[in-house]
Amino acid sequence: MELISERGYRRTSLAAVAERAGLTQQGLLHHFPTKELLLVGVLEARDRWDLASAAAYSGASSTDTLAQLVDYNATRPAIVQTYTVLSADSVTEDHPARDFFESRFRTVRESMAAALRAEFGDTLPGGLTPDQAAPLMVAVMDGLQLQWLLDPEKVDMPASFRDFLALLGRDAGQDDGRETP
């Protein structure tokens, strides 16, 4: 993760990771046979840490926790870049990370649906169920990351994510004079 932050996704090589980790390249390849699988390992570790942070961040609604996660992501563009590139790349034929992402998206949609149900009940604005809103929430997070990585001056990812929460009926928590219909 250090190397990705320093060099970006493209320029992080297995050789450099082996050197930083104090392993031979063969030793690293024993654990992670390809760069893609190494990066999947990095993203799995990030998911575990983020889950632990979310569990530690008590006393707030789950959408608050998600908004905090988006805030945090805005401070770590290199790992967001890795996630964005690798998740998109995984849709290509026979990609080694395809199973990881297919399974991760199913899990994330289910846990978001459960969180939305706990916070909003069975009916959200527009008559949506939590199961219908969950893939939209995931899509907004992923799609905003792409726009923000390309154009951080024009796209305020944390503010845009809160705009989406306002669509779901959350008070934006901003004293900006806007009325919620």
| CB of residue 52 to a second copy, shortest distance in Å | 25
96 binds a second copy (CB under 8 A): no
Spatial separation of the C-alpha atoms in residues 138 and 120, rounded to whole Å = 17
63 binds a second copy (CB under 8 A): no
16 binds a second copy (CB under 8 A): no
178 Cα distance to chain centroid? 29
| CB of residue 3 to a second copy, shortest distance in Å | 14
89 binds a second copy (CB under 8 A): yes
| CB of residue 61 to a second copy, shortest distance in Å | 16
118 binds a second copy (CB under 8 A): no
In the complex with a second copy, the residue whose CB is nearer, 58 or 180, is: 180
